[in-house]
Amino acid sequence: MATAQRGVTIWFTGLSGSGKSTIARALEAELRQRGCQLEVLDGDIVRTNLTKGLGFSKEDRDENIRRIGFVAHLLTRNGVVVLVSAISPYREARDTVRDRIGDFVEVFVDAPLNICEDRDVKGLYKKARAGEIKQFTGIDDPYEAPLNPEVHCHTDQQSVEESVAQVIDKLEAMGYLAAAAVV
């Protein structure tokens, strides 16, 4: 049975390894159980398809976010819940996407750099520190943390389930998601 829902983009931003995709996947499972119509736009998958060929200069990163935001806007305005998981390091690019979409919930997935490095299964931080990867966010390229995210998950202190519950609580409070029936 489908639940009452409004289209919204839930934008997970944070350093590589902070837990963006992990929380987004867990939230996806919870929202699908509730009957939500949704799509997931994961930064890694989008980069291999929609934005292939873009590099990691500020201009290319901004273009990457603009393209993801365009797709998210199309889906959101058609009543779809969109989960975007992308580092999106620059505040101005995120704010531009927020303004375009309107129905937008920013989730800052926050973990200290050393924790992100410890979680790095792909070895990207190690390569960046060795100079093998240039313009790596958090190492030699900045990450501009959100100033007023709707949700701030501290993944070094919270479980995935606690972070998901925090996002769901906010979606319910903002009217994007009906409260789950208590069984």
Give the residue numbers marked as catalytic: 88
Question: For residue 104, which amino acid is it?
Answer: F
Q: Is 163 annotated as a binding residue?
A: no
Q: Is 19 annotated as a binding residue?
A: yes
Q: Is 79 annotated as a binding residue?
A: no
Question: For residue 125, which amino acid is it?
Answer: Y
Q: Is 18 annotated as a binding residue?
A: yes
Structure tokens at 118: 């410890």
Q: Is 14 annotated as a binding residue?
A: yes
C-alpha pair distances (Å), 147 with each of 105, 131, 144, 151: 13, 30, 9, 11
Q: Is 16 annotated as a binding residue?
A: yes
C-alpha dihedral over 77, 48, 84, 133, to 10 degrees? Answer: -140
Question: For residue 41, which amino acid is it?
Answer: L
Binding region for ATP = 14-21
Binding region = 14-21
